[in-house]
Amino acid sequence: MAKLRYFDCNCSIGRVPYPYIYDIPDVEGLKREMATAGIEEALVFHTVARDADPPLGNGLLHEALEGTEGLYPCWVVLPHHTGEMPPPSQLLDEMRKRNVRAVRMYPTRNWHSFSMAGWNVGELLAALDEARVPLLLDIEIVTWDTVQTILEKHPRLPIIATNVSYRHNRFTYPLFERYDNIYVETSRCFGFCIFEEVARRFGSGHILFGTSMPQYTGTSAVSHLAYADIPREDKEAIAGGTLRKLLKEALS
């Protein structure tokens, strides 16, 4: 049987301003970690875009990924009101030119300090919704109430919640019941039989493989899915099939 084709939806390159055990400063380091874990593809953002300056970090990302197979850019974006980023329609045009098919936001005060309410980011969310561009949100800094509001107002917008753990099941299960456009990545989904239960109750389409490298190792995420007691087709969807479909539909 052919091995699973893992496509990591949640990893980064770049130095970090706080002490992890190690970081992954460049593409070469990320490719080594991916090879160790048996991961073929990854959706990558740059730490400078998250921790400091999104336009600068997004530019550094493209310089780093140029000519590298299997790595795809994920931009960190902001509302356009301050002029740091272009209006949504122009932003989408730039994303098309650079083949950027997913974005992230870090809205809280300790990061980029803007509101996820409609009066602030609504125009950008509407544009991402129309283009079906997946939006990754870190659930440690964005509330589930915020996620639910976005899901309700923007039903074509795929929302990928990152850093979701077993302690979030009381939030995720009601959302799985109501919305088709909510996804969680797996880097912290280490509850007992969590893949088995979600796949049985809601289908495997809500789960995306993610590692959160370099904060965590890729091998643990791979092992958790490889040994899950779910059908092969569910493993293939989680490992990368669903993410590839979402990225193909984006900006089309």
Kindly report the CATH number assigned to the domain that includes residue 148: 3.20.20.140
pLDDT score recorded for residue 15: 87
Is 95 a member of any domain? yes
pTM: predicted TM-score of the whole model, two decimal places: 0.96
Interior CA angle at 72 toward 148 and 222, to 5°?
A: 75
- Cβ distance 75 to 59 under 8 Å? no
DSSP labels, 47-87: HHHHHT-HHHHHHHHHHHHTT-TTEEE-EE---STTSSS--
Distance CA 23, CA 46 (A): 12
Distance CA 14, CA 95 (A): 21
What is the per-residue pLDDT across 103-160, written as a single tens digit (0 to 9) for each?
999 999 889 999 999 999 999 999 999 999 999 999 999 999 999 999 999 999 999 9
Task: Give, for 162, the enclosing helix (H) or strand (E).
Answer: strand 159-162
pLDDT band for position 227 (cuts 50, 70, 90): very high
- Residue 70: CB atoms within 10 A of its CB come to 15
Is 216 a member of any domain? yes
Is 59 a member of any domain? yes
- Percent helix, percent strand, percent coil in the chain, to nearest 5: 45, 15, 40
Give the domain range for residue 44: 6-249
Residue among 182, 180, 138, 177 nearest 159 (CA): 182
What is the per-residue pLDDT across 146-202, written as a single tens digit (0 to 9) for each?
999 999 999 999 999 999 988 899 999 999 999 999 999 999 876 778 899 999 999
What is the per-residue pLDDT across 56-90, written as a single tens digit (0 to 9) for each?
999 999 999 999 999 999 999 999 999 999 999 99
pLDDT score recorded for residue 21: 55
74-93 b/e with 16+ CB inside 10 Å = b?
Answer: bbbbbbbeeeebeebeebbe
Q: Which residues contact 117 (CB under 8 A, 6 or more apart)?
A: none
Mean pLDDT of the chain: 94
Torsion of CA 179, 181, 182, 184, to 10 degrees: 140
Is 240 a member of any domain? yes
Residue among 75, 70, 129, 79 nearest 97 (CA): 75
Is 1 a member of any domain? no
- Residue 127 CA, distance from chain mean position: 18
**Structure tokens given for 230:** 């779910």
Is 119 a member of any domain? yes
- Cβ distance 8 to 43 under 8 Å? yes
pLDDT score recorded for residue 19: 61
pLDDT band for position 22 (cuts 50, 70, 90): low
Is 126 a member of any domain? yes
Distance CA 74, CA 64 (A): 13
Length of the chain equals: 252
pLDDT band for position 215 (cuts 50, 70, 90): confident
**Structure tokens given for 118:** 């409609």
Is 205 a member of any domain? yes
Count: domains in the chain = 1
- Cβ distance 189 to 210 under 8 Å? no
